[in-house]
Amino acid sequence: MTADQPMISGSSVVKLARGVRLHEDTVRGQTVLLAPERAMAVDDIAVAIVQALDGERTLDDIAAGFAEKFDAPVAEIAGDVTAFVQELSVRRMLEIVQ
Amino acid sequence: MSDTIARPADAVVAAPRVPPPMAMLAELTHRCPLACPYCSNPIALTQAKEELSTDEWVDVFAQAADLGVLHLHLSGGEPASRRDLVDLTQAAGSLGLYTNLITSGVGLTEARMNSLAEAGLDHIQLSIQGVSPESADRIGGYRGGYERKMAVAGWATNAAIPLTLNAVCHRQNMGEIDEIIELAFLLKARRVEIATVQFHGWAERNKELLMPTREQVERATRTVAEAREAYQGILVIDYVPADYYSKYPKACMGGWGRVGLNITPSGRVLPCHAAETIPSLSFENVRDSALSKIWYDSDAFNAYRGEDWMPELCRNCDRKKVDFGGCRCQAMTLAGNASATDPVCIRSPLRDRLTREVEQLAAPSTTTTNYRGRA
């Protein structure tokens, strides 16, 4: 076995993998993240994070942007962003650019 | 009693509201070049001339999207046997449906794969029957199938379509699970699905050939647990264990008429692919009725919703909200009564008999293979 497990940190740059996308579920009145055999209901915060995963900025950059926009402590936001992105990574929903 | 008569009709609907369906399996055709002896298609296969037309399918997809379906599985038979597969994929995608192609790979070419990618196919699920040409082609009953599948996996990856490798496991290939997972990794799949054979349709006819042994099942469970750790973040491993060796039944279909629905090639709407084995049910057709009416109001979909249908054993059991009483088709096959407790359940009076039968079936034997569509 030669599988290297991806590590997510503040310096990671990621984007949604092909085949993973946000979808406005008008019937149930919610936003869902669709992936193979998975539909994950996501709240406004999760949607904002997913939309920020542009494959260019690091997670630290993204967290700093949110901290400024919402006037919140950057350490706390960075923790939330990394934890959520880690979860997406384990579910194989991300392409890790760097 | 007078208060029953006085009650307004609406008040009777005190039962929990039926949720909209999440997923729809469209069996575009029953035609298939392979002949797997565990095929989930019914014994009586639908003829090509009875299949829904392109326009009819697109209309069903539109109704499904309106109804709340998120995932559309394009399946069969072999869906690539439909000449309009790319058009159907394109139409489904433009309706916002998440499109998943469930294929044996036979019938696809590199050009067709690229057309599917352009049409917006979200995901492809490629079946394999084994990890070597000899074993795979023997099970699939199609020479050259394995080689074609390896090529198809490469075309999918080149076209950037996410790939899941899918293997039905049974006594003949249960020892290959670690190799199946490794093959998925080597083919750059993101997901591998290992599903133990379910004994409906053709598989029921081949029980003696396919029934895994208890030792195989225990080893498979350990293999999967180890691989999940080794491949975390690289490969999602979905595993459907052998319910004949479990204590409790599976939550079949996530509950009858709760999560998903199936459309047969000729348009009949089923709560699950094996539902037609229950003789007391009759199924409506999208050619005659609206999909939403069938989902919410038809007798077949309402037959095993909620708990009114349940035997006392299930109704008084706290697991009824976990497994919804198990599999109705399995109850039909094993107990001769679709409303019985799934005989897999340790609380079923039929469990001991089933255990003895399973042990006999799993013993080495020299049975012949009943290939799908050829037996």
pLDDT at B15 over 60: no
Residue B35: count of CB within 10 angstroms of its CB: 18
- CATH number reported for the structural domain that contains residue A73 in this entry: 1.10.10.1150
- Are B38 and B168 a contacting pair, CB within 8 Å? yes
Residues 48-67 of A with CB under 8 A from B: none
Q: Radius of gyration (Cα) for chain A, nearest Å?
A: 14
What pLDDT does B197 receive?
94
Q: CA of A37: which chain B residue's CA is closest?
A: B71
- What's the pLDDT band for A7 if we cut at 50, 70, 90? confident
**pLDDT digit string, tens, across residues A78-89:** 999 999 999 999
- Chain A residue numbers touching B122 (CB-CB < 8 A): 19, 21, 34, 36
Instruction: Give the best residue of B125, B180, B190 to mutate against chain A (max A CB count within 10 A).
Output: B190
- What's the pLDDT band for B374 if we cut at 50, 70, 90? confident
Residue B276 amino acid letter: E
Cα(B35)–Cα(B43) distance, rounded to whole angstroms? 12
Contact A19 B67 (CB under 8 A): no
**pLDDT digit string, tens, across residues B247-287:** 999 999 999 999 999 999 999 999 999 999 999 999 999 99
Predicted complex: ipTM over 0.85: yes
Residue A50 lies in a domain: yes
- What's the pLDDT band for A2 if we cut at 50, 70, 90? low
Mean pLDDT of A62-77: 93
Any residues with CB less than 8 A from the CB of B56 and at least 6 apart, and which?
B267, B286, B287
pTM of the model: 0.93
pLDDT at A66 over 70: yes
- What's the pLDDT band for B10 if we cut at 50, 70, 90? very low
- What's the pLDDT band for A3 if we cut at 50, 70, 90? low
Mean pLDDT of B200-204: 90
What pLDDT does B2 receive?
36
Assigned token pair, B54: 């392109």
Q: CA of A92: which chain B residue's CA is closest?
A: B233
Q: Which domain holds residue A26?
A: 14-93
Please report, rounded to a whole number, the percentage of residues in chain B having pLDDT higher than 70: 95
| CA-based nearest residue to A12, from A96, A84, A80 | A96
What pLDDT does B375 receive?
63
- Chain A residue numbers touching B230 (CB-CB < 8 A): 1, 3
Give how far B184 is from chain A: nearest CA, Å: 12
Residue A5 lies in a domain: no
Given phi > 0 = left and psi -120 to 50 = alpha, else beta, which region is A43? beta
At residue B319, the 3 state secondary structure works out as coil
Mean pLDDT of B221-237: 95
Residue A2 lies in a domain: no
What's the whole-number average pLDDT of chain B? 93
What pLDDT does B14 receive?
44
- Are B328 and B304 a contacting pair, CB within 8 Å? yes
Nearest CB neighbour to B122, from listed A19, A39, A92: A19
- What's the pLDDT band for A6 if we cut at 50, 70, 90? confident
* Dihedral angle computed from the Cα positions of residues B226, B229, B234 and B237, in that order, rounded to the nearest 10 degrees: 50
At residue B219, the 3 state secondary structure works out as helix
Query: Helix B85-94 vs helix B54-67: angle between axes, to the nearest 10 degrees?
Result: 30
Cα(B219)–Cα(B159) distance, rounded to whole angstroms? 36
Nearest CB neighbour to B231, from listed A3, A28, A37: A3
- Are B169 and B177 a contacting pair, CB within 8 Å? yes
Q: How far from B350 is each of A26, B22, B106, B212, CA to CA, in Å?
A: 45, 33, 41, 20
What's the whole-number average pLDDT of chain A? 92
Residue A98 lies in a domain: no
Chain B contact present for A98, CB below 8 A: no
What pLDDT does A98 receive?
87
Any residues with CB less than 8 A from the CB of A56 and at least 6 apart, and which?
A13, A97
Q: Exposed e or buried b for every residue in B315-328, given b needs 16+ CB within 10 A? A: eebeebeebbbbbb
Residue B237 amino acid letter: I
Place of tokens 């000729």: B266
Give how far A72 is from chain B: nearest CA, Å: 30
pLDDT at B9 over 60: no
Chain B contact present for A21, CB below 8 A: yes
CB under 8 A, 24+ apart: contacts of A41-49: A45/A80, A46/A84, A47/A22, A49/A81, A49/A84, A49/A85
- What's the pLDDT band for B16 if we cut at 50, 70, 90? low
Residue A27 lies in a domain: yes
Strands A21-25, B260-263: pairing kind: unpaired
- Are B210 and B38 a contacting pair, CB within 8 Å? yes
pLDDT at B181 over 50: yes
Mean pLDDT of B27-52: 94
- The total domain count for chain A is 1
Report phi then psi at A95, rounded to 5.
Answer: -105, 125
Residue B340 amino acid letter: A
Residue A49 lies in a domain: yes
Mean pLDDT of A3-17: 88
What pLDDT does B7 receive?
40
**pLDDT digit string, tens, across residues B313-366:** 999 999 999 999 999 999 999 999 999 999 999 999 999 999 999 999 998 877
